[in-house]
Structure 1
Amino acid sequence: MVLSTGLTGKEDMMEMSHGIVSAEEWQEARKRLLAQEKEFTRLRDTLSRQRRELPWELVSKTYRFDGPDGEQSLPELFDGRSQLVVYHFMFAPEWDAGCPHCSHWADSFDHAIVHLNHRDVTMVVVSRAPYEKLRAYERRMGWHFKWLSSGRSDFNFDYGVSFTRDQVAAKRAIYNYVEQDPGVSDREGISVFVRGGDGSLLHTYSAYARGIDMLNVD
């Protein structure tokens, strides 16, 4: 049952598009949605378990990064912890500023990283732009997390977030595990690494596009 609101114009259209009901009817509708939400939660728990059970890939290639501590290797980015999370921030070498969407998400990184560090996890941000550009933009935005340039290595290309001029022009590249038009030369993503007991470096997970929604903690 939809009740009359007495509203007119856009306000009336907005109200009527949802339907105005009694308290009893609202409770029943909310319970039906709650059942679906609970099912989604159970599915998410299952997916999280399957994510943890993924096999790990041995990282045999050497990568070098430029950052606030000078040149560092990928193992050095762990900063003594056993796990490393890398956020692939969209900032191509020729750009003068970082991606606005990545910037919105990065606004929450500083506080989140404090909690990750207490759980044996280091998180850093990596882009292809020269470190001088990253540092200038970081100061402009008021951030303090560790941001490094991978511009002198194949890191971004190997982990599926950067593409050649030919790939962009042809609108054909592998992004998010399928061939598609990447749109631009650099895209967003997240990659996770762990240190093996024997000191080996292992790649455990990468996600792109909507797969990185878990990082949006605003």
Structure 2
Amino acid sequence: MSNHGVVSREAWLDARKRLLLKEKDFTHAKDELSRERRELPWVRVDKPYVFQGPEGEETLSQLFQGRSQLIVYHFMFAPEWEAGCKSCSFWADNFNGVVPHLAQRDVSFVAISRAPFSKLQAFERRMGWSFKWLSSAGTDFNQDYCVSFTPEDLAGKRAVYNYAPLERPMTDLQGISTFYRDADGGLFHTYSCYGRGVDMMNTAYQYLDLVPKGRDEQGLPWPMAWVKLRDEYR
């Protein structure tokens, strides 16, 4: 950082305006990508999933809460873990405030994990979250949406994550899936993203991308090695 260029205000404005043109191109390209995403074909959901949550047992249809669209954040929390994934928690710290806004646009939001609901509740209280979080224990939901993997699939190298063979022997990984419920109650899977695909949902990362050091993750053992649960920072 000590060798970074320093120029006059006029020269800075000239460089900034050149970058602005690229930023506008990126924004327009993103708008087009979002349009294409919305035009993807859908897959009907026929399997009867039942989740454990704050209202007891709830079906996938009930998670829509009377709305036509549903976002599911696949939160990494395996049944044997005592705490949720610190990286997913980094994302989840962004969730509380957006839920009411999403509801105004006909969208419900939930997080779903494989851990038993009692563990989710305890961790939720610790972190001070209020978004709806449910357990998929006893269902194939996480496996069907390619965020959890059986020991047999891992051993046989049959696990698929982010639409490609899984290279890491992980039982649980993060993702986002979206669903639509039509007027007749039919359910449809419309989209899923994984890996870096969930990156844009992290507000803190988007802010870090604006500052001089950026995410400042070069030289770490892996990009998010610095992240902790927010009550563990010192």
TM-score between the two structures when normalised by the length of structure 1: 0.88
The answer to whether 1:15 aligns with 2:16 is no
Residue of structure 2 aligned with 1:89, choices 61, 64, 75 = 75
Spell out, residue by residue over 1:102-142, the C-alpha distance to the aligned partner (whole angstroms, 9 max, x if none). 11211121111011112111101100001111111111111
Instruction: Identify if the C-alpha distance between structure 1 residues 182 and 196 changes in structure 2 by more than 3 Å, giving closer, same or farther.
Output: farther
Q: Which has the higher helix share?
A: 1
Structure 2: how far apart are the matches of 1:171 and 1:19?
49
**Alignment RMSD:** 1.5
The answer to whether 1:146 aligns with 2:132 is yes
> Structure 2 unaligned runs (5+)?
205-234
How far off its partner does 1:199 sit?
1.6
How far off its partner does 1:198 sit?
2.3
Match of 1:200 in 2: 186
Structure 1: how far apart are the matches of 2:6 and 2:159?
48
Q: Secondary structure at the match of 1:38?
A: helix
TM-score between the two structures when normalised by the length of structure 2: 0.82
Q: Secondary structure at the match of 1:205?
A: strand
Percent identity between the two aligned chains: 60
Larger radius of gyration: 1
How far off its partner does 1:83 sit?
0.8
Structure 1: how far apart are the matches of 2:42 and 2:57?
27
Structure 1: how far apart are the matches of 2:10 and 2:77?
52
State whether residues 126 and 150 of structure 1, in contact with CA within 8 Å, keep that contact through their aligned partners in structure 2. Answer: yes
State whether residues 157 and 165 of structure 2, in contact with CA within 8 Å, keep that contact through their aligned partners in structure 1. Answer: no
User: Which amino acid is the alignment partner of residue 136 of structure 2?
Assistant: S
State whether residues 130 and 151 of structure 1, in contact with CA within 8 Å, keep that contact through their aligned partners in structure 2. Answer: yes
> How many residue pairs end up in the alignment?
204
How far off its partner does 1:171 sit?
6.0
How far off its partner does 1:15 sit?
2.5
State whether residues 98 and 137 of structure 1, in contact with CA within 8 Å, keep that contact through their aligned partners in structure 2. Answer: yes
The answer to whether 1:166 aligns with 2:152 is yes
State whether residues 173 and 180 of structure 1, in contact with CA within 8 Å, keep that contact through their aligned partners in structure 2. Answer: yes
> Structure 1 unaligned runs (5+)?
1-13
Q: Secondary structure at the match of 2:203?
A: coil
Instruction: Identify if the C-alpha distance between structure 1 residues 96 and 169 changes in structure 2 by more than 3 Å, giving closer, same or farther.
Output: farther
Structure 2: how far apart are the matches of 1:21 and 1:169?
57
Match of 2:36 in 1: 50
Structure 2: how far apart are the matches of 1:106 and 1:71?
23
